[in-house]
A = this chain, B = another copy of it.
């Protein structure tokens, strides 16, 4: 139960605290925000400052181990790269629906035109109006 060393695509071993941070992400049911992650770490053993959390998250992202997407609110959500989740988010109220499976499974980039870029992860997110907000909008502007 103690994944003591995660091998990274670049081959170097992970510092202990980053390893721990990654574990918390893996144990989470869904993506979590930086703030949330910080709170969870604080609750457990490996408490660390908020700044450090973000610093590690960035490094994990650069190693391709952590994926990040941004809510319309500007909040960033993090998840392990290996987890391939996608969401449908309401552009009005922000309510989020997790999609049952990845619509684009083995998604590949063409290797040309990449200018030396090394792709690490992708985000695919859907946006729309939830049932509630559609109703609310219909009341204001009757002409559907």
Contacts and interface: CB of A to CB of B under 8 A. Distances in A.
Interface residues of A, number: 53
A68 interface: yes
Contacts of A91: 58, 61-62, 68, 120
Contacts of A130: 115-117
A91 to B, nearest CB: 5
A110 B26 CA distance: 27
Given A117-B88, A129-B117, A123 B122 contact: no
A72 B68 contact: yes
A141 B62 contact: no
A122 B117 contact: no
